[in-house]
C-alpha cells in the first residue's frame, strides 16, 4: 500500500526509559508524505495530540516508526 495524506496508520510509541509505560500502538493520521516511506504524523494520544514531521516506516511494530494497522 502507498501512504497518502489523511490515511489512518499506527505509530509505535517509545514508552518510558524506566519501563513505567511500555511501547504501544497509537492511532495517527498522515499529514505529509516524503521519500522512502517517511511521513509526517498527527499522533492521537489519550492526553492529546503529538506532531512528528519525519517518521520512518517499519513492517512490524518498532518504537518511533509507523506501520499499517492489522486487519481484524
- Look at residue 32 in the predicted model and tell me its pLDDT: 98
pLDDT tens-digit readout, 14-64: 999 998 989 999 999 999 999 999 999 999 999 999 999 999 999 999 999
* Residue 34, in any domain of the structure: yes
* Residue 53, in any domain of the structure: yes
C-alpha cell at 64: 518511533
User: H or E stretch including 41?
Assistant: strand 39-45
Q: Is the pLDDT of residue 72 over 90?
A: no
Q: Print the domain residue range for 52.
A: 8-14+23-67
The tally of domains found in the chain comes to 1
* Residue 2, in any domain of the structure: no
* Residue 32, in any domain of the structure: yes
C-alpha cell at 2: 502507498
- Look at residue 24 in the predicted model and tell me its pLDDT: 95
- Look at residue 6 in the predicted model and tell me its pLDDT: 98
* Residue 1, in any domain of the structure: no
Amino acid at each position: 500500500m502507498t501512504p497518502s495524506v489523511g490515511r489512518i496508520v499506527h505509530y509505535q510509541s517509545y514508552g518510558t526509559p524506566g519501563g513505567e509505560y511500555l511501547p504501544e500502538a497509537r492511532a495517527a493520521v498522515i499529514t505529509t508524505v516524503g521519500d522512502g516511506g517517511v511521513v509526517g504524523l498527527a499522533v492521537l494520544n489519550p492526553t492529546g495530540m503529538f506532531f512528528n514531521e519525519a517518521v520512518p516506516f517499519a513492517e512490524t511494530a518498532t518504537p518511533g516508526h509507523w506501520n499499517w494497522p492489522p486487519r481484524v
